[in-house]
Amino acid sequence: MAKRALEIARWDLECEFNNTDHRTELNGVEQLIVRRGQPFTINLHLRSGEYQPGGSALNLTVETGPQPSDQYGTRASFGLTDQIDTSRWSAAVTSPPGYMVSLSICSPPDAPIGRWRLTLGQGGLVEFVLLYNPWCTGDVVYMDSEEKLMEYVLAQDGIIFRGSWKYLIPTPWNFGQFEDGILEACLRILEMNPKCLRNPGKDASGRKNPIYVSRVLSAMVNCNDDKGVLLGRWTDDYDGGVSPLSWKGSVEILRNWDTNACQPVRFGQCWVFAAVACSVSRALGIPCRVVTNYNSAHDTNSNLVIERYVDENGQVVQKSRDMIWNYHCWVENWMTRPDLKPGFDGWQAMDPTPQEKSEGVYCCGPIPLKAIKEGELTYKYDAPFVFAEVNADVHTFMKHKDGTTEKIISSVQVGLKISTKSVGSDRREDITHLYKYPEGSDEEREAFTKANHQNKLLQQQENAGLLIAIKVSAEMRKGCDFDVFAVVTNNTPNGKKCRLVFGSRAVSYNGILGENCGFKDLLNVALAPGEEKRVPLRMNYSKYAENLTEDNLIRLAALLLDYGTREAYLAVRNVVLENPEIKVRILGEPKENRKLAAEITLQNPLPVPLQNCCFTVEGSNLTGGQIITEKLNSTVEPGQDAKVKIYFTPTHSGQRKLVVDFDSNKLCHVKGYRNVIIGK
């Protein structure tokens, strides 16, 4: 006997139940947002007749993209079965016979993500969004730790490490991947990528693969080749946009791009590119974290060597595109790599900052961290560039006035203190061991052999006899005068006569040098055998204040010339000047959907008044996806407090981060935050 087709009068997508079950409820419950490989429920109200097991039929069709195809997994037709099959598109009735039918529908764990259309027999069309599912064992982004999933998928705020390897600065960031409109912006990024515009059917099919999507995101977060999100700028000229340091989170950036016809947002630098990529990855369901590599090498000619040139005063002479950035940020996405041999699953480095082209496009990765650690530089994607960032050799040459050059002795290392935020806390987790074996170990030598890094293999430890190092004061606060020291040691059995050049210049985090902040040239430094001398250099606020960049960095360089042997020794160190602390005090008991106040205070540490003072505040599920701005009408004198009170209404319970930024005429982009525990 032929089965009778169900006549559907209306349906209920049960968005609140489904979205909560699929951990997408923070996106809102107005539309159906589900994760692949996991059933969701639709309630069907019949026009006539009852549902009868075995006697009722319903044909369903799902489609995604403009050219749906069964062959490419972007279309599927299926009917009712006795139970759900989680390996393919399937549907089963879970309610008893009656006029209302509870329908359970499941997608396969490798279905393409994005916008889908579901046709219910002759009854109507349903639209929903399908995301990656790191909770599903069959999904290639599966992660088996609930605590890590809370951090790397669901956490809407975090910490990005900046500063220098000697002084790491935790900077708060509001990823905001569940704020209103952000998922729509993330899906639009996929739809605007050139691969989609050229071949939308193939691109829609490719979205089943997080390797493909990560590569698309790496290219689309910057706008160098496409209608991407951010335009990078590494100078002090931010006309037509804002300083990268002014951003407190990804929400404003993604909204601006989405609502302004996909025009690039101005401006970004590495931590901003990385943070936006993290927001988009988490929004789509890929576990993701931001990492920082200190003393990060930028090797433009792929020889795994950074060549630096200094003049006879120890100041850098720009002769090569190779650079050492004070730090560089990228992201890691979590996934398996079925395209590679076993053993290379897990964290994959992906860098959206436009530096070098990959396959003709400014993108980088994803490349397994294990491939970098093992020196497997033939693996996809962009292994040599990332390997160099953490392992390149540094050769320093002195360029004389007559044009000749000679190699000088320097001890600069790259790839230090690779850092990310710890799971469940704001502490730093050092992940250098995931990228590199311990220096000097047999495993490190084997990795260098695979990578053909002959420079490292042949390098001999030089015991110069003369040593030079730079020491700094315990506290180096912006606004204060302080001393730094060149420490010279003579470990030879003979007396030495030397020249010591000790200089300082403002520097940006990517190694671009600014103006002089202090200089000393001692022509006759005498050192007895075994003697150590400490030579101070006074850093006066009146001298460095106007030269300092927004990064608060000063580059110290001490060059020692041995008159007897004509050998030169160079020590370089970047120091970060501390900004004042922003204090945040919560007034009252934080409760969901109840107005709350916070008192925010910053003391002026400078010997000059602060004018045009402004606090800006935002936080996921705290400020309604908006930025709260409070300006001070009065001038803040030296030693006085700048203080404001702001009001906001938390919308969800749990721990949230209130991110604060202070800006004035003399003290720009001071960051602070406060973790707020919101109760029901």
Helices (H) and strands (E) in the chain, counts: 14, 41
The C-alpha atoms of residue 505 and residue 294 are separated, in whole angstroms, by 19
For residues 499 and 646, membership in a common domain is answered with no
For residues 624 and 646, membership in a common domain is answered with yes
The C-alpha atoms of residue 24 and residue 131 are separated, in whole angstroms, by 9
321 CB contacts (<8 Å, ≥6 apart)?
A: 298, 300, 301
User: Average pLDDT, stretch 249-262?
Assistant: 97
665 assigned binding-site residue = no
Catalytic residues: 270, 328, 351
Packed helices 383-391 and 442-451: angle between N→C axes, nearest 10 degrees: 140
643: closest CA among 662, 667, 665? 662
Alpha-carbon separation of residue 433 from 11, 224, 388, 641 (angstroms): 53, 33, 16, 43
What secondary structure letter does DSSP report for 274? H
Instruction: Identify the sign of the CA torsion 68, 72, 77, 78.
Output: negative
Please tell me the least confidently modeled range out of 53-67, 163-177, 444-458: 444-458
> Which residue range(s) make up the domain with 665?
582-678
Alpha-carbon separation of residue 271 from 247, 266, 292, 295, 352 (angstroms): 10, 14, 8, 15, 10
For residues 437 and 516, membership in a common domain is answered with no
For residues 76 and 40, membership in a common domain is answered with yes
- pTM > 0.85: yes
Tens digit of each residue's pLDDT (9 = 90 or more) over 268-319: 999 999 999 999 999 999 999 999 999 999 887 777 888 888 888 777 776 6
Name the residue type at position 536.
Answer: P
Is the model's pLDDT at 1 over the cut of 70? no
The C-alpha atoms of residue 339 and residue 336 are separated, in whole angstroms, by 9
For residues 190 and 118, membership in a common domain is answered with no
User: Average pLDDT, stretch 601-627?
Assistant: 96
**Token pair for residue 307?**
């060549």
Among 558, 576, 594, which residue terminates a domain?
A: 576
Domain assignment present for residue 413? The answer is yes
C-alpha angle 573/574/575, rounded to 5°?
A: 115
SS3 category, 183? helix
The C-alpha atoms of residue 374 and residue 343 are separated, in whole angstroms, by 11
**Residue 555 — very low, low, confident or very high, per pLDDT cuts 50/70/90?**
very high
Is the model's pLDDT at 606 over the cut of 50? yes
| Burial grade of 589 (CB within 10 A; 0-12, 13-18, 19 or more) | exposed
SS3 category, 256? helix
Domain assignment present for residue 491? The answer is yes
C-alpha angle 560/565/568, rounded to 5°?
A: 30
Among 456, 486, 508, which residue terminates a domain?
A: 456
Alpha-carbon separation of residue 379 from 146, 342, 539 (angstroms): 30, 12, 48
Domain assignment present for residue 137? The answer is no
Instruction: Identify the sign of the CA torsion 600, 602, 603, 607.
Output: negative
What is the reported pLDDT for 108? Answer: 98
Strands ordered across the beta sheet of 482-490: 466-472, 482-490, 532-539
What is the reported pLDDT for 409? Answer: 82
| Burial grade of 213 (CB within 10 A; 0-12, 13-18, 19 or more) | buried
What is the reported pLDDT for 4? Answer: 83
Cβ proximity of 553 and 507 under 8 Å: yes
User: Average pLDDT, stretch 589-604?
Assistant: 96
Is the model's pLDDT at 463 over the cut of 50? no
Domain assignment present for residue 140? The answer is no
Q: Which residues pair with 618 in a beta bridge?
A: 659
How far from the centroid of its chain's Cα atoms is residue 82's Cα? 46
For residues 91 and 71, membership in a common domain is answered with yes
Total domain count for the chain? Answer: 4
Tens digit of each residue's pLDDT (9 = 90 or more) over 211-247: 999 999 999 999 998 999 999 999 888 999 999 999 9
For residues 433 and 540, membership in a common domain is answered with no
For residues 186 and 157, membership in a common domain is answered with yes
Q: Count CB atoms within 10 A of the CB of residue 579.
A: 20
For residues 565 and 619, membership in a common domain is answered with no
393 assigned binding-site residue = yes
Domain assignment present for residue 408? The answer is yes
Tens digit of each residue's pLDDT (9 = 90 or more) over 34-62: 999 999 999 999 988 788 887 788 999 99
For residues 95 and 165, membership in a common domain is answered with no
What is the reported pLDDT for 316? Answer: 77
The C-alpha atoms of residue 481 and residue 538 are separated, in whole angstroms, by 7
Tens digit of each residue's pLDDT (9 = 90 or more) over 122-163: 868 999 999 999 999 999 999 999 999 999 999 999 999 999
**Residue 460 — very low, low, confident or very high, per pLDDT cuts 50/70/90?**
very low
671 CB contacts (<8 Å, ≥6 apart)?
A: 171, 172, 248, 579, 582, 659, 660, 661
% the chain with pLDDT above 90: 81
**Residue 398 — very low, low, confident or very high, per pLDDT cuts 50/70/90?**
confident
Residue with tokens 């002759």: 122
Average pLDDT, the chain: 93
Domain assignment present for residue 167? The answer is yes
| Phi–psi pair at 448, nearest 5 degrees | -65, -35
516: closest CA among 504, 524, 527? 504
What is the reported pLDDT for 121? Answer: 87
Q: Which residues pair with 119 in a beta bridge?
A: 61, 125
Cβ proximity of 434 and 373 under 8 Å: yes
63 CB contacts (<8 Å, ≥6 apart)?
A: 74, 75, 116, 117, 119
What is the reported pLDDT for 512? Answer: 86
439 assigned binding-site residue = yes
Is the model's pLDDT at 411 over the cut of 90? no
Long-range contacts formed by 233-241: CB under 8 A, 24+ apart: 233/266, 233/267, 233/268, 233/269, 234/269, 234/508, 234/510, 234/512, 235/512, 236/549, 236/550, 238/266, 238/267, 240/266, 241/265, 241/266, 241/267
Cβ proximity of 293 and 328 under 8 Å: yes
Q: What is the CATH number of the domain that holds 190?
A: 3.90.260.10
What is the reported pLDDT for 642? Answer: 97
Tens digit of each residue's pLDDT (9 = 90 or more) over 481-502: 999 999 999 999 999 999 999 9
User: Average pLDDT, stretch 506-523?
Assistant: 92
User: Average pLDDT, stretch 101-123?
Assistant: 95
For residues 245 and 160, membership in a common domain is answered with yes
Domain assignment present for residue 487? The answer is yes
C-alpha angle 80/84/90, rounded to 5°?
A: 55
For residues 247 and 302, membership in a common domain is answered with yes
Residue with tokens 């109507």: 124
Q: What is the CATH number of the domain that holds 109?
A: 2.60.40.10
Is the model's pLDDT at 394 over the cut of 80? yes
% the chain with pLDDT above 70: 97
The C-alpha atoms of residue 113 and residue 285 are separated, in whole angstroms, by 9
Domain assignment present for residue 114? The answer is yes
The C-alpha atoms of residue 607 and residue 480 are separated, in whole angstroms, by 8
SS3 category, 606? coil
Among 544, 576, 608, which residue terminates a domain?
A: 576
